[in-house]
Structure 1
Amino acid sequence: MDTQTSILDLTPHGSIDIECVVNGPIETNTYFITSKGEALVIDPAWDGEALVADFSHRHPDVELRGIVCTHGHADHVGGVAGIRRALGEETPFVLSGEDVPMVRANIDHQRQKWGIETEDPGEPSRLVTEGDVIAVGDVHLQVVATPGHTPGGVVLFAATEDGPVAFVGDTLFPGSHGRTDLEGGDEGAIMKSLAKLGTVLPPETRCFVGHGPATTIASELAGNPFMVRALHEHARREGR
């Protein structure tokens, strides 16, 4: 990861509608993204059946095609099982293979530490890694590996006709980054991931985060001390 070569296709593909539903006791941002009558749900935190019912009521002509999770923490996968009950067990569930081993342990940890019960999402139907593409309508979500918050954390980037967007999970927050003191966290890895995002994503990229308000790469390059430090460390490693 030290060599920040852009792997991304920056050619705009299609138009996208983005809806955010704040979901569950930890107030996770669950996103519905729609293109050409098809939709995906990103990071369904809790009560998947209610999420499906609400979305389908508001968008009766849109087909909800699958589930993508940016990482395997319980507050980002807790609604998967309910969505699959509502839509059918064959509904695609996409996750990085690096996070599969930690899902069950994190659910147990959340119950023991905070008393929050979360459904096991079951086995993913597709495991993704760096460079993979997930299509919805005519939009292409490109997978960018961003370990640190978890071993298999990913960012989902799309160059669209409405401008570039990224669903960054808990890797990046306005002025900060995701915790590294939870299961699978790695401070060194997340700093490299921040440098990667600051290098390969266009500055105008709108970043939709796992909790709280959205930001842009330009804003973080200007005002996020962790990203600034990460980029300085990257430049030093590269001898620049």
Structure 2
Amino acid sequence: MTATSSPDSAFALDLTPHGTLAIEVVENGPIQTNTYFAISGDEAVVIDPAWEGGKLAAHFAEAHPDARIVALVCTHGHSDHTGGLAGMRDALGEQVPFIISADDAALVDQHIVWFRENWGIETEQPPAPDRLLAEGDTIAFGDVRMQVIATPGHTPGGIVLFCATEEGDVAFCGDTLFPGSHGRTDLPGGSETTIMHSLAHLFRLLPEDTICLCGHGPSTTVAAELENNPFVRRALRTGY
């Protein structure tokens, strides 16, 4: 599977609702990352297993005994979003794949070192990815399907995962979007120009009713950000 280094303007989401999705968020790790358990039927995907993966796996097993985890997916390669991968794989087994964008695959190991050297935080070495994503790919589980949107800028291979369900539209945004703002671009591999392009690309695709689940802090909606986020409004107005 090949990498996608920039969003494809011809890409269109499938907005047809499919299935039902239950979501639990667990805030964990040294900088309070949101780990999401996305559950459809008896299958679940863990999005951004941030820290202490063994504890995350144990919590999931206790809270959701009728579901099994079928994939570990990271929205980008920063250590505060991948730090629980090793522990979860130890607990769940190697048959549960680790999935990330092709353009951030190399960043995972690099950022472990950066995290340690710059912040003094030790993180378990994540496993090698089992599947590499590009824009337009899907991750199917239960009776839902997540669609991959390329949103580089915070990192070279940041992605948003969009899911149209019978209860409404949901997007797992990682650190691309925050209420009233966007992810920082001053870390290695970040680009302010690129993230502005990604915001324009993202907000031309997502329906206004979409709930946006962010990598840190509270959730928001597309409608709220169109009204209140100056970066989104500028990205769309200036034709990024």
TM-score normalised by structure 2 residue count: 0.95
Q: Is the 8 A contact 1:176 1:226 kept in 2?
A: yes
Q: Which residue of 2 aligns with 1:189?
A: 194
**AA at the equivalent of 1:160:** T
Q: Which residue of 1 aligns with 2:28?
A: 23
Q: Which residue of 1 aligns with 2:3?
A: none
The whole-number CA distance in structure 1 between the counterparts of 2:238 and 2:7 is 10
Q: Within 5 Å, give how 1:21-170 maps onto structure 2.
A: 21-170=26-175
After superposition, give the CA deviation of every residue in 1:24-58 in whole Å (9 maximum; x if it has no partner). Answer: 11100000000011111000011111001011011
The whole-number CA distance in structure 1 between the counterparts of 2:238 and 2:202 is 14
After superposition, give the CA deviation of every residue in 1:177-211 in whole Å (9 maximum; x if it has no partner). Answer: 00101121011110011001111100110000000
**AA at the equivalent of 1:9:** D
The whole-number CA distance in structure 2 between the counterparts of 1:220 and 1:10 is 20
- Post-superposition shift, 1:233? 1.6
Q: Does 1:223 align with 2:228?
A: yes
* 5+ long unaligned stretches in structure 1: none
Q: Provide the aligned C-alpha RMSD in A.
A: 1.2
Match of 1:171 among 176, 186, 199: 176
After superposition, give the CA deviation of every residue in 1:86-125 in whole Å (9 maximum; x if it has no partner). Answer: 0102211100111112222211111111111111212100
TM-score normalised by structure 1 residue count: 0.95
Match of 1:204 among 198, 204, 209: 209
- In structure 2, do the counterparts of structure 1 residues 75 and 108 end up closer, same or farther at CA, with 3 Å as the change threshold? same
After superposition, give the CA deviation of every residue in 1:155-198 in whole Å (9 maximum; x if it has no partner). Answer: 00010001000000000000000010112101111001100111
Instruction: List, as ranges, runs of 4+ consecutive aligned residues in structure 1 with deviation greater than 6 Å.
Output: none
**AA at the equivalent of 1:16:** L
- Post-superposition shift, 1:7? 1.4
* 5+ long unaligned stretches in structure 2: 1-5
The whole-number CA distance in structure 2 between the counterparts of 1:3 and 1:48 is 34
How many equivalent pairs are there?
235
- Post-superposition shift, 1:64? 1.1
Residues 37-46 or 100-109, more deviating: 100-109
